[in-house]
Structure 1
Amino acid sequence: MSDLFIVKAKVKEIAQDFNVAADFSDALNEKAKQLILDSINRAKANGRRTLMTRDL
């Protein structure tokens, strides 16, 4: 697995009374990674080196 961008314990904390499957955190991490990469591409396209909320 690549670098972690999310904290599994925090995911479980937010889920409260719901069980969290073992692979859920991995899938969420991949989505977070892709979201960051997409934001980087948008910032580059706009001539910036700072990620901003609007890049999401």
Structure 2
Amino acid sequence: MAKKMEMVLVASKVKALIKAGKCNTSGDALEGLNGVVHWYVQQACKRAAANGRKTVRSHDFCTG
């Protein structure tokens, strides 16, 4: 079983955003989104390091 990741999202804010989109939130939606956020942060850290920086900047999250 995969290691459970620390929740870095504010659940109430995400649920409100989903509700504003006229959708419901499933029980596993926040965990899934949390995994995506963790992955993006890891990728941004790798990009910053590859560019000789220790500081993650906004453009490190862009893929295109």
Normalized against structure 1, the TM-score is what?
Answer: 0.91
Unpaired stretches in structure 2, ≥5 consecutive residues? none
The secondary structure found in structure 1 opposite 2:38 is helix
Indicate the structure with greater helix content. 1
Q: Report the Cα offset of residue 30 of structure 1.
A: 0.2
Query: RMSD between aligned alpha carbons?
Result: 0.9
| Structure 1 residues not aligned, in runs of 5+ | none
Which moves more between the two structures, 7-16 or 18-27? 7-16
Partner of 1:44: 49
Query: Taking CA–CA contacts closer than 8 Å with sequence separation of 6 or more, which of the two structures ends up with the larger relative contact order?
Result: 1
TM-score (norm 2): 0.81
Are 2:19 and 1:13 equivalent residues in the alignment?
no
Q: What code does the residue aligned with 2:29 have?
A: F
How many residue pairs match? The answer is 56
Q: Percent identity?
A: 29
Q: 1:55 aligns with which of 30, 52, 60?
A: 60
Tell which deviates more after alignment, 32-41 or 12-21: 12-21
The equivalent of 2:37 in structure 1 is 32
Question: After superposition, what is the alpha-carbon deviation per residue over 1:18-43, rounded to whole angstroms, capped at 9, x for unaligned?
Answer: 21001010000000000000000000
